[in-house]
Structure 1
Amino acid sequence: MNLPVRPPVRPMLARAVREVPRGAGLVYEPKWDGFRCVVFRDGAGIELGSRNDRPLTRYFPEVVELLAAGLPDRCVVDGEIVVVTPDGLDFGLLQLRLHPAASRVRRLAAETPASFVAFDLLALADRSLLDVPFGRRRELLVEAVTELPGLYVTPCTDDPDVAQDWFTRFEGAGFDGVVAKDVDLPYQQDKRVMWKVKHERTAECVVAGFRWHKDGEGVGSLMLGLFDDVGLRSVGVASSFSAARRVELLAELAPLRENALDGHPWADWVGDPTGAPSRWNPDKTLTWEPVRTELVAEVRYEHVHDHRFRHTARLVRFRPDRDPASCTFAQLEEVAPAELAAIFAVPVPSAPNPSGEHDDRRVEHRGEPDPQQVGHEQQPGDEVPADEQGEQQRDHH
């Protein structure tokens, strides 16, 4: 492709903060929960690039069609691929698209079509916009993109109260939070020069086992469970420990490894000691070590989806004062769905009509600020690893 900005592009990133920042010259956008994607278009050629340089083009043929209809002939656009359902954004459906079978890709593209949300313009025609202030890039983006059902320009506001309202009100629609950036910010590849505020909560879980770290030294992740009416159910893992902490955890868990399989609720899942391949990463095994289910861990998590932590949790502390039997699903907060139409108009895929075709309908805009304003059964341990769950794609900003 003969473009002024060529692949690979390392997307501009954001660092986490606890509150929506306020200050002169800041603008705010919703933090979309999807695959980060940089689009390169040169005439009939369209490529979808991800943050980890994995090409996404073949997985989203319907998005390519949308971009061909709604983008200028020569441009580079930063944005997010999302799947919209009547209940909001669904990252799980998005993950299913990364499949080698072309027939499955075509089927899912028809059944659960993806959308593209544009939030930055890096090049237009023969001009690189990397050094242009964001406010001007935003203006050019709004002018350049022809919005269609499934192709949108992200809402943007310079009012922190509106941003706070987005953060609070639209979590149930699947939004990750809010991103803030300076209106004069140039596009700085792979630099954390923006800010992001994400939803986060805590839960107390039973530690049922652990996985070894990939280098073989210490604990790589803790296997977490919660009780329901049937028994102890796997809800995900906690990880991201320092090298020193991995060794400390191994020592702390050592007493609980004795006779761990006696009455262990997941004993049938231990399986072959060589481990089984991960369904997300064939080169990674799911070998894990059981421990007696006597230890409670307080963890931080972001979202719950289908009774599991959507992303890797973080260990806060162990709670020896807690009874493992008290660790139930009742403590998890699953936010009620919110209508995406309240933030801007989106297509809501309906059920197939009698002819077997889907009838996407446009939801009316409901008075929010102008979007153009600038200013198998899953076994324990078979969680989606942070580097495989789209984290490299989904780190929107």
Structure 2
Amino acid sequence: MQLPVMPPVQPMLAKSTKSIPDPAKFDGGLSFEPKWDGFRCLVFRDGDEVELASRNTKPLTRYFPEMVAAFKEQLPERCVLDGELFVAIGERLQFEVLQERIHPAASRITKLAEETPAGFVAFDLLALGDEDLTRLPFAERRARLEAALGHLVGGSGPTYLTRTTTDAALAQEWLDQFEGAGLDGVIAKPMSAAYQPNARAMLKIKHERTADVVVAGYRLHKTSTPEKPLLGSLLLGLYDGDRLHHVGVAASFTAKRREELLEELRELETDVDDHPWAEWAGQMIANPSRIPGTQSRWSAGKDLSFVPLRPERVLEVGYDHMEGTRFRHTAQFKRWRPDRDPESCGYDQLEEPVNYDLAEVLGAAPAQR
């Protein structure tokens, strides 16, 4: 493989902002596009050679054989693309189904490639033929991308060209609507910016929500020692009827706060046999629901044991969105809620996005101004 941009390449990143930014405050304005909830992926094609690389430059090629075949049919002969791999079932993206593709067994990968095939949405062009395009402003890279992949617009996939707009009001509509199709928010790209690997040169706008959850356990931090124990993460639960479900973790704390939380929670420590999650304790099995104390292919070799706590304390957390019955990402500790009864913390408090058909997102024209 001989391309003007060669792997490894770390993709350009985004920093968070609370609302849709004003394009007038940026030289050349902004281009807005949906934020896809999948695996970031750089695609390198040189004739019959195709390589897929993850955000941290690890190879993804063997896990997505159906996409390798599609790229040979649908992409220019020699190119480097930045985009997102995803799996869609029905009208929504399904991140947990996508995760299942990272599997050591080739037979399993082949089976899943047939049963739940992936797709790829392209949103930047780093090289075409013998040209390195990374130094060009995004406005020019986008125009070149549309010219190179315009034939895919309105097609059946599995390779797509993301839609864009320079209209901030339309971007706000996308932020409100597209979550119903499983998307993750909106990305804003400065039109005049070059491609900057591993730099947070873009902006991302995601939903900010809060929920009151039950603290039902904790795990120790990886740097914890018997002499100086440190809390690593809080295990969070929500009630569905009288059953307490594990919904995620809160984990971002300073070292001082990790010590403080450990002291605050010691009085709630209990024997696992008296805990709502007693039936799961000690299980070390592959578990797509990520039950506390169990292993999965993502955590093989890690100590996932937890310290059970009496489910008596309520915590308000910030989160962006749900994936099934769990928080999609790590929740953010907001404040203790001593005024809340743990049994009142159920799924009914969570905001549900309006359903939106993913096909409407994927089938759009190259750009909407």
Match of 2:117 in 1: 113
Deviates more, 1:84-93 or 1:263-272: 263-272
Choose from 299, 312, 319 the match for 2:317: 299
Shift of 1:99: 0.8
Paired-residue identity, %: 54
Match of 2:147 in 1: 143
Partners of 1:261 and 1:292 within 8 A in 2: no
Match of 1:127 in 2: 131
Match of 2:344 in 1: 326
Shift of 1:322: 1.2
Match of 2:361 in 1: 343
Gaps of 5+ in 2: 285-292
Between the aligned partners of 2:256 and 2:283, the Cα distance in structure 1 is 29
**Is 2:232 the partner of 1:227?**
no
Gaps of 5+ in 1: 346-364, 376-397
Helix, strand or coil: the match of 1:8? coil
**Is 2:185 the partner of 1:185?**
no
Partners of 2:41 and 2:83 within 8 A in 1: yes
Match of 1:315 in 2: 333
Choose from 26, 30, 33 the match for 2:34: 30
Between the aligned partners of 1:27 and 1:306, the Cα distance in structure 2 is 31
Equivalent pairs, count = 349
Choose from 275, 279, 292 the match for 1:268: 279
Match of 1:62 in 2: 66
Helix, strand or coil: the match of 2:73? helix
Question: Structure 1's 43 and 279: CA in aligned 2 closer, same or farther, altered over 3 A?
Answer: closer
Normalization by structure 1: what TM-score? 0.84
Q: Deviations over 1:304-338 (max 9, x none)?
A: 23312122211111111211111111112232421
Q: Deviations over 1:85-124 (max 9, x none)?
A: 2221111111111111111111111111111100000011
**Is 2:2 the partner of 1:2?**
yes
State the one-letter code of the partner of 1:311. Answer: H
Between the aligned partners of 1:277 and 1:88, the Cα distance in structure 2 is 27
State the one-letter code of the partner of 1:80. Answer: E
Shift of 1:372: 3.5
Choose from 244, 249, 252 the match for 2:261: 249
Question: Structure 1's 126 and 332: CA in aligned 2 closer, same or farther, altered over 3 A?
Answer: same
Question: Structure 1's 261 and 92: CA in aligned 2 closer, same or farther, altered over 3 A?
Answer: closer
Partners of 2:95 and 2:323 within 8 A in 1: no
Equivalent positions of 1:93-108 (< 5 A) are 93-108=97-112
Q: Deviations over 1:339-369 (max 9, x none)?
A: 1233342xxxxxxxxxxxxxxxxxxx5xxxx
Q: Deviations over 1:282-319 (max 9, x none)?
A: 12121110111111111111222331212221111111
Q: Deviations over 1:218-272 (max 9, x none)?
A: 1111011111124211111111222221111111111112x45463211233328
Equivalent positions of 1:6-21 (< 5 A) are 6-21=6-21
Shift of 1:278: 4.2
Deviates more, 1:142-151 or 1:192-201: 142-151
Helix, strand or coil: the match of 2:356? coil
Normalization by structure 2: what TM-score? 0.90
RMSD: 1.7
Question: Structure 1's 26 and 272: CA in aligned 2 closer, same or farther, altered over 3 A?
Answer: closer
